Structure 1
Amino acid sequence: MGQRLYDLDIESPGHEQKKANIYKGKITRIEPSLEAAFVDYGAERHGFLPLKEIAREYFPANYNSHGRPNIKDVLREGQEVIVQIDKEERGNKGAALTTFISLAGSYLVLMPNNPRAGGISRRIEGDDRTELKEALASLELPDGMGLIVRTAASANPPKRCSGT
């Protein structure tokens, strides 16, 4: 495979990127009209957590939804949540947050609480795809966990990726 740039992050002094950083935060306000909550995660401005970015593990144990969930039934003020920055702060708006954590490596992206996510990059085709599919199927991931095989993995057979 030729030399390709797969990812580029640029930081300038005084403005470190926070996207993909993971924090333990606390719900400070719930806004039903926005279907979102505001989360204090240690930054100057509180982050914005929309309902669609809240993992089922944060829903009350006895919660059963009939139709669309109501954010007031799902979260409560003062509740602690683990969040990841999805979009940086802009202007007077706080960062957009998600509870669907993703841990990206060179070859794989692990999503510890997103069982619906997972698969193999569309750019990987042919024998490489078949080989990676078999390797992925042989993994015993804990329930509720997803895994994505990145394009860079096609240059590294599964045996090399796993360290064996």
Structure 2
Amino acid sequence: MTETETHDDAAALLAECRELKLVVATAESCTGGLVAAAITDIPGSSDIFDRGFVTYSNKAKQEMLGVAARTLLQFGAVSAQTAIEMAEGALKHSRADLAASITGVAGPGGGTAQKPVGLVHFACARRGRETVHVERRFGALSRHEIRAASVKQALNMLLETVRI
């Protein structure tokens, strides 16, 4: 994804949220705040973007988002369950109407047979609606490419959630 595409996706998200008076938050692990950065790179984003949680460690996921220790122990940080709890926790701990979460293995190390490099879980939560989860296996891309593809996926999920 190019920088222009990221900018355009973030601008489209903000325009649609502004029209519908929706506020956004993010909960990021492997992207380290890149989704929040893409959104806040757009002038005027402060009336739409509430906050971004960068929860790289399991402890941060628990303390900042309320991810259950049991979830992390049973399923791990890189799981559908954790992504869902992250997105829902971002809503609970913000004034946002919708939130995206990202947790994965960006590499180049850290992968296992069950959770290889390039595996990323996403969730998007909107108040009053069911939380949506997507799993992506980006494969043997570089760390930069996995993170860039994850930003694109998260922005697209937020846009889809706004349009529902």
TM-score past 0.5 threshold: no
TM-score interval, normalised by the smaller of the two chains: under 0.3
What TM-score do the two structures reach when normalised by structure 1? 0.20
Q: Comparing both structures, which one devotes a greater share of its residues to strand?
A: 1
Larger RCO: 1 or 2 (CA < 8 Å, sep 6+): 2
Higher-Rg member (1/2):
1
TM-score (norm 2): 0.20
